[in-house]
Chains A and B, each alone.
Chain A
């Protein structure tokens, strides 16, 4: 049988294992991000402007639907100017959204996009989007916000409708909002 302090190396190894697994839990955060960006998991689309040059495929028609949601703690109105549009893959399109700050104070908002179905997410490319940065609104300010996008021609054949959904958040922390 081993003497007491001869347990030390095994104990140290096991402690290192426990600490490493604690770290691994946090490592899952960036790993999850990378995973989502590669696979479009969670309806993730590009978060920064992208340039796409493709030959348009005018024989195909895809319906793009816009869905808007305002987070319960955000005092905003937010809607797409048109509920949907018909697009051809490979061609660039514009859409506008309108948001209004309902509060009598300055607010900073952020729109978070999500694309369904998941298999379409990586083929929906935003060239310019108000969702790339946070948006500052003066008290009661209302303004139009542009979106410029392209649907890649390599979109799978079985997809004929893409839903782009935005949730509009007030970027002040939820906790602070709860207290208001």
Chain B
């Protein structure tokens, strides 16, 4: 394909602004995407440091380094930062960079709102992190913010609520932007079902965000008014019910976990066909499966609450509805494997991360099925088994998909090949250490070790030591990733196509992608060719 003819940067007079202003006032989807990704990486390391505090404390029984109150602040902040600060912004960053390139649009539909939705985030997390230095410390009642415990948070409480409000605002604006871009700005001839999977999964994710982030905002607003304005939404004395918070929170919380995994499915669905040199197997069934998962995510929330008391019929409904999710997820796993079947596979770093994703995410999926069994969940609830489960779906799940996407598109962003050898070392170190960290947690949980405790009974000692060694190894391995990023521009020049088997409009623009792309929509013929 002759790419030069499509999009020569014929508007050099209008490049990026100079200095800090370029970033503060940017409305360019590539700049904003870059800022999201850098922000997310920063938060990944801040949240990671907190994880190091947690694992150091838990390395051997007894209290070593921190006070129990500070330990609780660390678990709470680690979760809030990783969920809202690292994983979600990373996917929004990838969306900002890649969606316009993949659908042949010149930019996001609402560039100024795009600028706002990014710049709200540093403010939100500045507020959240500032609580570490307040009297009474950070929130320590768990990221789920259950009342009445969360109402005992000290001065940090209103700051927690407002930072959650701001994160929600940012996500909703980002989601609106993505939907409008995808619906209104696709290249001619690109029908909805011709869209790349990453665009599809993000479209569905964006609808989920609009549906549930406002519900979370409502729930934390109720906490705020309960604390300061004498309402009693969750206070039994005034006729409220603390259990209701859990229902409202998980009505948000369960779709939220799919918000964190659906774009990961999208990234992996882009990478596996490229390195298998085959078309994605069952593209349309992937779309239907993702939609199914999104729908089911709204009717399974109470499986997080099997132990709070629920009628038998309720337990059965939520148990079976939850298990049903395994069906569309199974379709996706099958399709990825079928894509690789008889493909001419090569194993560059993005592919390695994607393969590890498929394998390790499935382990997390299986422990999820075990947790879905209501009678068995009574034993697993609030143990390290749950910790093992959600870390398997979030770390070798979402985080690996983000890493895979970063390596996959990095040559398109920088115009140079990254250091493949170092990247492979990063991959193998991450994969080995992530398993050393989280696999023993399954055993700890089944043996009855509760989560969110700074000290434990001695029979849990050995597996905890193993997990802590793994965690420190995993943390250090991520420094390699930073090194690969810092040296990304030193490698050989990347071709426009970058990867031999890559298809899609993003590979028809030069590498590095010019500041402005697709100012005129790509011709239908070229767009079609890109999808063949």
Residues of A participating in the B interface, judged by any CB pair closer than 8 Å: 1-2, 6-7, 10-11, 14-15, 17-19, 21-26, 28-29, 32, 36, 39-43, 71, 110, 112, 118-119, 167, 169-171, 173-175, 178
Residues of B participating in the A interface, judged by any CB pair closer than 8 Å: 105, 109-110, 148, 151-152, 172, 175-176, 179-180, 183-185, 210-219, 222, 227-228, 230, 233, 235-239, 241, 243-244, 247-248, 251, 309-312, 314, 521
Asked if A112 and B217 sit within 8 Å, CB to CB, the answer is no
Asked if B217 and A25 sit within 8 Å, CB to CB, the answer is yes
Closest-by-CB residue of A relative to B185 is A1
Contacts A14-B176, A28-B247 given; indicate if A174 touches B235 (C-beta within 8 A).
yes
- The distance from the CB of A45 to the nearest CB of chain B, in whole angstroms, is 13
Closest-by-CB residue of B relative to A17 is B210
Known: A32-B247, A43-B309. 14 other contacts (CB 8 A): A1-B184, A11-B180, A22-B217, A23-B218, A25-B214, A25-B215, A29-B222, A32-B241, A39-B311, A112-B237, A118-B309, A171-B238, A173-B230, A178-B152
Asked if B233 and A29 sit within 8 Å, CB to CB, the answer is yes
What's the Cα separation between A43 and B217 when bound, in Å?
28
Other-chain residue from B109, B215, B241, B312 in contact with A22 (beta carbon distance below 8 A): B215
Asked if B214 and A18 sit within 8 Å, CB to CB, the answer is yes
Other-chain residue from A6, A21, A40, A118 in contact with B214 (beta carbon distance below 8 A): A21
Other-chain residue from B180, B210, B244, B248 in contact with A7 (beta carbon distance below 8 A): B180
List chain B residues, Cβ under 8 A from A18: 172, 176, 210, 213-214
List chain A residues, Cβ under 8 A from B216: 25
List chain B residues, Cβ under 8 A from A24: 214-215, 218
What's the Cα separation between A39 and B312 when bound, in Å?
11
Closest-by-CB residue of B relative to A15 is B176
Other-chain residue from A23, A32, A40, A170 in contact with B237 (beta carbon distance below 8 A): A170
Asked if A32 and B184 sit within 8 Å, CB to CB, the answer is no
List chain A residues, Cβ under 8 A from B210: 14, 17-18, 21
Other-chain residue from B215, B233, B243 in contact with A21 (beta carbon distance below 8 A): B215
What's the Cα separation between A125 and B169 when bound, in Å?
46
Closest-by-CB residue of B relative to A112 is B236
What's the Cα separation between A39 and B236 when bound, in Å?
19
Other-chain residue from A14, A71, A175 in contact with B179 (beta carbon distance below 8 A): A14
Closest-by-CB residue of A relative to B104 is A1
- The distance from the CB of B159 to the nearest CB of chain A, in whole angstroms, is 17
Closest-by-CB residue of A relative to B236 is A112
Asked if A25 and B248 sit within 8 Å, CB to CB, the answer is yes
Asked if B244 and A119 sit within 8 Å, CB to CB, the answer is no
Asked if B215 and A71 sit within 8 Å, CB to CB, the answer is no
- The distance from the CB of A129 to the nearest CB of chain B, in whole angstroms, is 14
Asked if A169 and B251 sit within 8 Å, CB to CB, the answer is no
Asked if A28 and B251 sit within 8 Å, CB to CB, the answer is yes
- The distance from the CB of B261 to the nearest CB of chain A, in whole angstroms, is 21
Asked if A21 and B212 sit within 8 Å, CB to CB, the answer is yes
Asked if A21 and B211 sit within 8 Å, CB to CB, the answer is yes
What's the Cα separation between A21 and B176 when bound, in Å?
14
Q: Give the top 8 A-B pairs by smallest Cβ distance, nearest first.
A: A25-B218, A169-B237, A22-B214, A21-B214, A25-B215, A14-B176, A2-B184, A112-B236
